[in-house]
Chain A
Amino acid sequence: KKTFVGDQVLRVFAKDEVQLTVIQDLSEMKQLQLDVWRGPTDVATPMDIRVPFHSLMSVKAYLEARDVQYTIMIKDLQADIDKEERQMQRSSYA
């Protein structure tokens, strides 16, 4: 059973076309094993990416080095999934 312990979902904002290209490049870096939840489309729409724990430092460093803004949308994905599972179990018992 795959777990997502420590995985975060980052929301990444491009302020111009140059930064948009930067985050598009990021989304295509296979070695980071990113899961793009919402792709980089235009400057007005942020990108949401699930970043595996082992890639977090690399991704954040990449963004910060290029002055690309991001926020942490989900701090620990597994914690939310566990919460979801507990809720389903409670409902099932009920």
Chain B
Amino acid sequence: AKTTDDFDYANYHVLDEIYSFQDMLVAENPTLVSKIVIGQSYEGRPLNVLKFSTGGTNRPAIWIDTGIHSREWITPASGAWFAKKIVLDYGHNPALTAILDKMDILLEMVVNPDGYHFTHTSNRMWRKTRKPNPGSSCVGVDPNRNWDAGFGTAGSSGNPCDETYRGPTAHSESEIKSIVDFMKAHGNIKAVLSIHSYSQMLLYPYGYTSTSAKDQKELHELAKKAITDLASLYGTAYRYGSMINIIYQASGNTIDWAYNQGIKYSYTFELRDTGRYGFILPANQIIPTAKETWLALMAIMEHINANTY
């Protein structure tokens, strides 16, 4: 693709194509989009965050990440669609325009680029990072168990050969440490929306404990609104609730860490499907998935914009 208009949103792309897409989007929209390199992956790939901002300094921001589990290809594919949607809608869609006039949107399209590259070259079903584990022949850490929130407790594994290996210490993975450092330095992030697949769920904290989040009522109501909006497009049914109740106990995960940092609107999505295809969701479902998910994201972002804290 020579421009982001030519980019094939209805197909899966290798990492270089996604990086090119990001650069094109920045070049085409210099007053709205910029690229921040927040760090490097273990294998030296840049960790790019697209910043959608209409100006101001250190505005409140909404963080969206996709591609933390590399085999969940639908998530970066949806991320590309979201990025284009934001530039298309700004100035045209009143709700999104109002959000961007007050807040920034930060989008990390591929949180785990080494793993993503590995799924395209060596093992389509790879989930973790690609850092070797000393003393083990097994490679990689589950980046969604590596956060400092109930780290090391039930709901993750201490075995490097397991898919849910938490790593030796919290934030041991550069892919995670880079986000943590960036968010702490930013200091004004109001939402973390971490996007996974599959199973069609919208989850809020906590995953590592059955204790209710202090904002549970609001998070629950907002989740209900978001999944209702999502379902309005194609009727896709989501379940929603706290992670530990709806899916399983998962310690050291992104949204629990974010919530414990005081970022109230912390959600994880599990995108399509309910289990016909799992991680190999056909490419013809990328755009429908992105479109319906966008409705839920907008519901959450509009609520945040109207309820700044």
Contacts and interface: CB of A to CB of B under 8 A. Distances in A.
Contacts of B13: 88
Given A39-B248, A41-B247, A48 B283 contact: no
A37 B248 CA distance: 13
Please report whether the interface of chain B is mostly helix, strand, loop or mixed according to DSSP: loop
Interface in A49-70: 50
Interface stretch (B41-49, B78-86, B116-124, B216-224): B116-124
Contacts of A87: 11, 282-283
B11 A11 contact: no
B280 interface: yes
A23 to B, nearest CB: 13
A71 B13 CA distance: 31
Contacts of A36: 163
Interface residues of B, number: 23
B96 to A, nearest CB: 29
Interface in A1-49: 1-2, 4, 9, 11, 30, 35-39, 41, 46, 48
Contacts of B278: 9, 37-38, 48, 73-74
Interface in B97-134: 121-125
Interface size class of A (residues with CB under 8 A): 20 to 34
B275 A4 contact: no
A85 B68 CA distance: 21
B125 A50 contact: yes
A2 B122 contact: yes
Interface in B243-264: 247-248
B19 interface: no
Interface of A: 1-2, 4, 9, 11, 30, 35-39, 41, 46, 48, 50, 73-74, 77, 80-81, 84, 87-88, 91, 94
Going nearest first, the 10 A-B pairs with the smallest beta carbon separation are A2-B123, A91-B11, A41-B248, A81-B124, A80-B280, A37-B278, A39-B248, A48-B275, A1-B122, A91-B8
